[in-house]
Amino acid sequence: MRIYAILFVLFLVGNAYSQTNKKVVIIGIDGCRADALELANTPTIDNLISNGVYSPDALNDDITISGPGWSAILCGVWSNKHLSVDNSFVGTDYTNYPPLFKRIEDFDSDLNTVSICHWDPINDYIVQNHADYKLNVSSDLEVSNEAISYISSNDPDCMFLHFDDVDHAGHSDGFSPTVSQYITAIEGVDALLTPIMQSISQRPNYANEDWLVLITSDHGGVGTSHGGTSIEHQNVAVIASGNTITQNIIRKDSSLIFDSVYNCLADTSELQFNGVDDYVQIPSDSIYNFGSNQDFTIECRVRTSTTGDVAIIGNKDWDSGNNAGFVFSFKYPAGPEWKVNIGDGTNRADINTGGLIADNQWHTLSVSFDRDGYMKMYEDGLLLDSANISSIGDITTNADLFFGTDINQNFDFTGSIAEVRVWNTLINEQTIQNWHCNHIDSNHQNYNNLIGYWKLNEGTGTTMAIDYWGGFGMPNGTINNSTWYSPDSTWIYDYSNTPRIADVPVTALTHLCIPINSNWDLDGNSLISENCNSMGINTINNGQSTFIYPNPTNENFNVKSSSKVILVLIFDLYGRQVMSTKNAKIIDISNFNKGMYQVLVETDQGVFRTNLIKN
């Protein structure tokens, strides 16, 4: 094993050397609201946004005060761990949850760490003595000048720069995109960043360096204060910019809610039926007579809180299920399941096992009718049940098509109906699922088989049923007594998938190829993927081809070599051997902790080495 020990030491030395090319600068703009940042004229920040990951919808959804905020940004955990709850820094725990500078120095003390702050408590209480160089200054201009000087005359690997003038403007004049002094302060910081970025690009070894620029803020604000829990206090921007970073904009999800009712089509008007004498009547047309053999599909959207023996949509006399035609209804006598029926005058087939749709929410009901096979029932795009209809003969009625009642204006429905679709073919399960929450257009794979399409979303003043078959809205039917309703609407925003400020240090550590130890119990996640393969697969015997894949991996990897593989050894970052195997086909590391490992592969031509990332 002596040769492997020597190789392993050489491997670590090589890795340490290559890691110095990866560098990070974290720029903290105190008290900067994301909406104000987007409004301000910030060409330098805009350039960084265009070259990496950007989210205008990032959050500090913990305590929106500077002490807890900067603790999260530098330590990667929230206040329940670092225990900073205000600006007094009393009772904090930076021993178990130290700033990222300690993580970096513990990994490799040769890496150079720097912190230059306009607000002294960051260095005094959070950074402490964990950075190689720290400096407190009295202005944002000094932060910029000192950063330029250090970058130009030293070799920093991780640098934190804190700017405080935007927070000062917020407290003096207001944290708002409508306050000119606040916007001017943001633009002032951007101007100070310009020479810093220039000093980085002018470094003699810049072509061989991989810089990650991270920008964020500790909180927003309302009026002249902060510390609240509203989105104006919590919403900040996060930027992760670099030449090796894939451009991506991460925004919050948005939903338009009507009277607490979600409509995935975002229609602003709906047609309501009162259960007494409201209905829509579509004139009889031979294309709606499906005879004995014609396959077809019927779809509609329904919102109701009432079940009963009603006709939601159909072309039959619903006094008997044996009567010719089809109908959507509820299981007799009063649900709660919805159902579908088809009959030929003698025989009938029913599916009574629909979902419980009387919850006052919108649901898409779809049924396909395979005339020599099965009719299939779908709800909100999901297949619920099927029934054999091969014994059903001619269902022709020559009657009109009705929404909200049967052909005799009986069995009246209470609720709203929309998005009625009639197809002269079978729509398959995947297509039904894909389109159950989308208006139909020419991209639908069965668009040429659409023979009737009533959106029923036109709103007040419309008394004709508009048929969008063929893409043109043409009157084809009458609205009888039914009323248009425009519910009050509210936009609901979901920030679940947007970044948090605790992601910043984890992203920095990831860029520096410093493995995240699960025992650190960090709350943040990296905004970038690990890109540590730039260290390459260095070989002792040149000319031979050996590599591992996939890398990174979650569970297992393979070794592929042009030579015969004799032995594969895996070491952790402390040099401890954690696996030895002669099997190069599928090497299972699913039980390994997340992080970086070193792999040595012995072949009959020599020994090969590389990094392996376990996600």
Q: So what's the pLDDT on residue 540?
A: 33
> What is the domain count for the chain?
3
Q: E-assigned strands of 556-605? A: 556-561, 565-571, 577-581, 587-588, 595-603
Q: Taking the complete model, does pTM exceed 0.85, yes or no?
A: no
Q: Does residue 582 share a domain with residue 504?
A: no
Residue found by looking up tokens 């048929």 in the block: 467
Q: Does residue 505 share a domain with residue 597?
A: no
Which pair of tokens denotes residue 609? 């080495």
Q: Does residue 242 share a domain with residue 116?
A: yes
How far from 431 is each of 300, 313, 384, 443, 445, CA to CA, in Å? Answer: 15, 22, 15, 11, 8
How far from 558 is each of 106, 553, 568, CA to CA, in Å? Answer: 32, 10, 10
Q: Does residue 542 share a domain with residue 398?
A: no
Q: Does residue 280 share a domain with residue 245?
A: no
Please, which residues bridge with residue 271 across strands?
A: 417, 484
The contacts of residue 61 (CB under 8 Å, 6+ apart) are 234, 495, 500
Q: Does residue 510 share a domain with residue 476?
A: no
Does 333 reside within a domain? Answer: yes
Does 4 reside within a domain? Answer: no
Q: So what's the pLDDT on residue 258?
A: 64
- What are 275-299's pLDDT values in tens digits? 999 999 999 999 999 999 999 999 9
Q: So what's the pLDDT on residue 8?
A: 43
Q: Return d(Cα 554, Cα 522) in angstroms, integer.
A: 19
Does 240 reside within a domain? Answer: yes
Does 411 reside within a domain? Answer: yes
Q: So what's the pLDDT on residue 421?
A: 98
Beta-carbon count within 10 A of 373 CB: 14
Residue 233 near residue 64 (C-beta atoms within 8 A): yes
Does 430 reside within a domain? Answer: yes
The contacts of residue 47 (CB under 8 Å, 6+ apart) are 197
Q: Does residue 506 share a domain with residue 468?
A: no
Q: Does residue 204 share a domain with residue 71?
A: yes
CATH number at residue 117: 3.40.720.10
CATH number at residue 538: 2.60.40
Q: So what's the pLDDT on residue 552?
A: 83
Q: Return d(Cα 102, Cα 199) in angstroms, integer.
A: 26
Residue ranges, the chain, pLDDT below 70: 1-20, 256-260, 489, 533-545, 573-574, 584
Task: Give the HSE-up count for residue 422: Cα atoms under 13 Å, Cβ half-sphere.
Answer: 22
Q: Does residue 397 share a domain with residue 512?
A: no
Q: Does residue 48 share a domain with residue 167?
A: yes
DSSP assignment of 254-293 equals EEEEETTEE-TT--S-EEEEESSS-EEEE---GGG--TTT
Does 7 reside within a domain? Answer: no
Q: How far is CA 217 from the centre of its chain?
A: 22
Q: So what's the pLDDT on residue 545?
A: 62
Angle (nearest 5°) at CA 100 between 95 and 102: 55
Does 313 reside within a domain? Answer: yes
Q: Does residue 383 share a domain with residue 303?
A: yes
Please, which residues bridge with residue 420 across strands?
A: 454
Q: Does residue 293 share a domain with residue 244?
A: no
Q: So what's the pLDDT on residue 267?
A: 87
Widest CA span in the chain: 94
Q: Return d(Cα 475, Cα 479) in angstroms, integer.
A: 11
Determine the structural domain holding residue 584 and report its residue range. 533-614
CATH number at residue 353: 2.60.120.200
Does 9 reside within a domain? Answer: no
Q: So what's the pLDDT on residue 334?
A: 87
Backbone phi and psi for residue 245, each to the nearest 5 degrees, phi listed first: -95, 130
Q: Return d(Cα 262, Cα 360) in angstroms, integer.
A: 10
